Amino acid sequence: MHQSKLRQVKYENPPIIEAVCEFRFVQGGVQPALIPGRFYERVKTEYPDIEMKKGVGVQEGGAQPTFVTQERTVFRNPTANRLVQISPGMLAINQLRPYSDYATFHREIEARFSDYSAVADIRRITRIGLRYINRLTVPEGKTLEAVLHLGFKVPQGFPTKPDTHLLRLEFPYQAHRDRLILIIARSGDDPQKEEVMLDLDYIAIKPEQIEQGELMRWVDTAHEAIEDVFHACVTQEAVASFRPV
């Protein structure tokens, strides 16, 4: 098992509302219809609840990826705060609130990828992504700058703050093998309470450079980048509201 350097940053009131690790790949050999049942036999103790959903997925393997309607199988734990989603060519591990820590999430990603690899024939990884979605509350009477160092300025002549906003930035990592996508957006419908979403999505845009045996090391690298960017973005006032342990 890969041993990694796992950072331990814990809060009593963490802002994370969802963390997800997603793998996309070209698979072959095993009939896709057989995989959900075989996967369930491996995870049914921890994920007893199953739901079938239909959605739009990406079909890999041709000259260009194509969008197709796919059936997705969702496995839930009894408290419904952990999910595993599978569809042809896709595995996603979701952690909803309450989020414990990265070491726990890391073990879950590794275990579920191992389970999936045991019942499916993964030929080639086409995408890997690690994403953390955070929700921060702007204190009453204050502006976005109270919780985030990164944002935007509204010129004079405009209202002091817009009702909705969206800021998207992309940064290259690892000699342009990876990319971190940062999104800041207004969240929530309560006009009396301003909340902002800080969405950090680290993806491999050249996954062919990553050996399958190095996938969990890549996940660790992605998490370290996300953690560094998160702490560079949030203010001390925001950190205090998370109540560090």
Report DSSP state, residue 147. Answer: T
Cis peptide before 98 (omega within 30 of 0): yes
DSSP H helical segments within the chain, as ranges? Answer: 35-43, 102-119, 215-233, 236-242
At 81-107, the pLDDT tens digits run: 999 999 989 999 999 999 989 999 999
Query: Average pLDDT, whole number, for the chain?
Result: 89
Domain ranges of the chain: 16-242
Q: State the Cα angle at 183 between 181 and 186, rounded to 5°.
A: 170
At 7-35, the pLDDT tens digits run: 556 788 899 999 999 999 998 888 888 99
- CA gap 102, 25 in Å, rounded: 24
At 209-240, the pLDDT tens digits run: 998 889 999 999 999 999 999 999 999 999 99
Higher-scoring residue by pLDDT: 161, 217: 217
pLDDT of 1 strictly over 50: no
Q: Lowest-pLDDT range, 96-105, 187-196, 201-210?
A: 187-196
- CA gap 203, 128 in Å, rounded: 6
List the one residue out of 148, 139, 129, 146 whose CA is nearest residue 198.
Answer: 148
Q: For position 191, what pLDDT does the model report?
A: 66
